[in-house]
Amino acid sequence: MAKRANSEGSIYRRASDGRYAAAVTWRDPETGRTRRKTYYGSTRAEVRTKLAAAVERRDSGMPVTDASMTVGDWAMTWLETTLRASPRKATTKELYRRLVLTCLLPTRLARRRLDQLRPSHVDEFIIELSSSRSRHRRTEDAQAPLLAPATVQRVFYVTRLVLNGAVREGLLGRNPALVVRPPRARRHAARFLSATEMEAFLEAARPTRAYPLLAFIAATGVRKGEALALRWSDVDLDGRQVLIRATLARVDGTLVASEPKTASSRRTLPLSPPVVELLRRLATAQEAERAHAGNLWVETGFVFTTETGGPIDPRNVLRAAKVAAAKAGLDGVTVHTLRHSAATVMLEAGVHLKAVSEILGHADIRVTADVYGHVSTEVTRAAMESLGDRMLASD
């Protein structure tokens, strides 16, 4: 056997088949036992390369070999350990859990072993997601829409977190998703209603129980969950303002009011006289319902409630908005459209972008600019007319 080169360690040539072999040992941090891994190759240089990579991983604190469990198996463990113990909001945890269960686990990536995972597999995963259909339990697969680009991007980021967890646990040496270009989610111009369309929408909703809630969102621009979590203790009708400090969402099958995602989402909003009057009428109607319900009434303190005082399910609000839009002959209108419409009205009225951003509770003014940068042609036209009047006034 040829003499070993310096620093080659345990490289040797096997007499049985002439192949070169190299062994590296390390202490398993989980069991405390000494483990050994042997690498083979047809040339000394090939084995030297494998050995050097293994030693580098060992000396840097990474596992010499990746775990053989599948991505899907680890993802389930991650849900029950790392995600559950994280300080993230309950609604965020619920979102991540749903994305893992409905979007990651059904893919080929979930069936791959961690020790066989490559960046190209993550690329393949993105392609598979982009051609996948939404798995809504009330929709047949053949009729379901394709996953939205924003959803594909969100699933990718969650999967990257899952694999980061595998690295932290010593199951994976490096996260292959870190070197993959994230899928892009192009922002589309926000759909908003004109004054005539908004009037038609609210008129269609007026006979329904959802009218006060939908009108409140349209007049203030608050998020659906923020409106549903609003309590009378946060409403000052005499001072004409409300404090937005919570959001209502379904978590593990239960409606939960929790703190907003960001500090900027907690804000005080002034109320216009029509909105104050809307809330006064609602308070009177709620008192009558409380008396009628008797012992069935559940005191939650929410402004918008069911007939017995309980919180309103966000899904029922979505359905109410869909029905009202259909009755008004409007396409592509959701509850969020009302928020977009409120923002557009403010911007078209000349309200500064920063003020609109604060009213909407955006974490960054750039978010407001990205979503509402288009606003409408009226804003652009008004700006150019103002510029022309100032610059050419002397001509």
Structure confidence at residue 390 (pLDDT): 59
Give the 3-state secondary structure of residue 249: strand
Structure confidence at residue 5 (pLDDT): 42
- Region 28-43 average pLDDT: 78
Amino acid of residue 234: D
The total number of residues written for the chain in this structure? 395
Per residue in 123-163, pLDDT tens? 999 999 998 876 544 444 555 677 888 899 999 999 999 99
pLDDT class of 6 with cuts at 50, 70, 90: very low
Q: Are 71-179 and 195-385 equal in CATH topology?
A: no
Per residue in 50-108, pLDDT tens? 888 888 777 777 667 777 899 999 999 999 999 999 988 888 899 999 999 999 999 99
Could you list the beta-strand ranges (E) of the chain: 12-13, 20-27, 34-41, 235-236, 241-244, 247-251, 254-258, 267-270
Domain 195-385 CATH superfamily: Intergrase catalytic core (1.10.443.10)
Do 15 and 53 touch, CB atoms closer than 8 A?
Answer: no
pLDDT class of 2 with cuts at 50, 70, 90: very low
Nearest alpha carbon to residue 236 among 286, 193, 275: 275
C-alpha 97/C-alpha 99 separation (Å) is: 5
- Region 211-218 average pLDDT: 95
- 359 or 187, which is more confident: 359
Instruction: Name the most confidently modeled range: 23-37, 134-148, 302-316.
Output: 302-316
Per residue in 314-325, pLDDT tens? 999 999 999 999
Per-residue tokens: 289: 């319902």
| CA atoms within 13 A of residue 346's CA, in its CB half-sphere | 23
Residue 65: how many other CB atoms lie within 10 Å: 16
Structure confidence at residue 3 (pLDDT): 47
Q: What is the pTM of this model?
A: 0.69
DSSP string computed for 4-31: PPTT--S-EE-TTT--EEEEEEEE-TTT
Q: What percent of the chain has pLDDT over 90?
A: 51
If you classify domain 71-179 with CATH, what class do you get? Answer: mainly alpha
Largest CA distance in the chain: 98
For the chain, the structural domain boundaries read 12-59, 71-179, 195-385
Asked if pLDDT for residue 4 goes beyond 60, the answer is no
Do 213 and 228 touch, CB atoms closer than 8 A?
Answer: yes
Asked if pLDDT for residue 203 goes beyond 80, the answer is yes
C-alpha 66/C-alpha 339 separation (Å) is: 48
Structure confidence at residue 366 (pLDDT): 79
C-alpha 295/C-alpha 293 separation (Å) is: 6
Structure confidence at residue 267 (pLDDT): 92
Structure confidence at residue 140 (pLDDT): 45
- Region 260-281 average pLDDT: 90
Q: What percent of the chain has pLDDT over 70?
A: 86
C-alpha 72/C-alpha 49 separation (Å) is: 31
